[in-house]
A and B are shown apart, each in its own frame.
Chain A
Amino acid sequence: MYLVNTESIPGYRVRQSLGLVQGNTIRAKHIGRDIMAGFKNIVGGEIVGYTELLAEARNEATQRMIAQAQSMGANAIVNVRYSTASVMQAAAEMFAYGTAVIVEPENVG
């Protein structure tokens, strides 16, 4: 499965477009991390626990999108976009979407 956020994949030609695929996940923060984040927010800087949590969540949203594309018989997703929204006070939604396509290698020469 090729994943790109451009309209095409270099070296490949889109044979068929299968439509929009998407994946999402909503993650809540757990209280221990919240307390640590509170400490970190006194001196400033990166909140590593959250960076990991959100990266993990984004990965899961991507995996769900890939699973949907695979069930459609696609071998690539182009024009992938990510979006993040805070849906509750302590939870964030990760959303990934793109266009599932079937690509084939371009004939060289």
Chain B
Amino acid sequence: MLAKGDEAFTVVILLLTYGSPVVMLFATWLIGRWIQDRHVKSLERREADVGKRVIITNEKRLPDGVAATQGTMVAGSVVVGTDYFRRFLAAWRNIFGGRVGSIEPILMRARREAILRMLAKADAQGANFVVNVRLETAVVGTTQGGNNRNKFSMCEVLAYGTAVKTGYDHSPYGVTYDARNDHN
């Protein structure tokens, strides 16, 4: 998600932190959106690519009629934080209650990223199915210091499953393939 070049932005933002909060909000809104757009594009590209080779299911076993030779566990994880602007919106939402729409996409992106990392490992092993996939989200702690509003918690999303290799070729189905079709 964050490439090396983002450090430069971080420095700029740090300078702005001690400048004006309004500038800070505007800058983090722009940069947050930029990072999100870039990440979503990257996710879509990688999902389309790996989706041609690996199928993911949270069913406990393979579809009927598909035989596998061996299985190994694969896992992918990612820790995410939120930007200043989204936390600001979330803090407002905390007063009136309701759906915290600013934070939702962050967790969904993290989940997709964790799944993709898991799939990449399965793909590297030559597996073409990942079964019994479990997703887990955990708050891994808040940083020390800072005032209450600027305290943030980080979320870890973990995806794990069993990668198996089958003789089954599902390449024509791509990502839209639904494993349930095989039960007929």
- Measured CB to CB, the residues of A under 8 A from B are 2-12, 29, 34, 37-48, 50-51, 54-55, 58, 80-86, 88-92
Provide 25 A-B residue pairs closer than 8 Å at the C-beta atoms, listed in order of the A residue: A5-B73, A6-B61, A7-B60, A10-B69, A10-B70, A38-B143, A42-B28, A42-B84, A43-B6, A43-B10, A43-B13, A43-B31, A43-B35, A43-B84, A44-B82, A46-B110, A46-B113, A47-B79, A47-B80, A51-B156, A54-B140, A81-B134, A84-B156, A85-B138, A91-B141
User: What is the count of residue pairs linking A and B with beta-carbon distances less than 8 angstroms?
Assistant: 155
Q: Which 3 A-B pairs have the closest CB atoms?
A: A44-B83, A10-B68, A84-B138
B 64-99 to A, binary, CB cutoff 8 A, 1 in contact else 0:
000111111101011111111010000000000000
Q: Which of B1-40 contact A (CB under 8 A)?
A: 1-2, 6, 9-10, 13-14, 17, 28, 31-32, 35-36, 39
Q: Which residues of B contact A89 (CB under 8 A)?
A: 141-142, 144
Once A3-B72, A41-B81, A47-B154 are accepted as A-B contacts, the answer to whether A86 and B140 lie under 8 Å apart by CB is yes
Which has the most chain A C-beta neighbours within 10 Å: B69, B72, B80, B110?
B80
Which bucket holds chain B's interface residue count? 35 or more
Contact B86–A44 (Cβ < 8 Å):
yes
Nearest chain B CB to A78 CB, angstrom units: 9
Nearest chain A CB to B58 CB, angstrom units: 11
Once A6-B71, A38-B143 are accepted as A-B contacts, the answer to whether A46 and B28 lie under 8 Å apart by CB is no
Contact B131–A6 (Cβ < 8 Å):
yes
Once A38-B146, A44-B82 are accepted as A-B contacts, the answer to whether A10 and B62 lie under 8 Å apart by CB is yes
Which has the most chain B C-beta neighbours within 10 Å: A41, A48, A58, A81?
A41
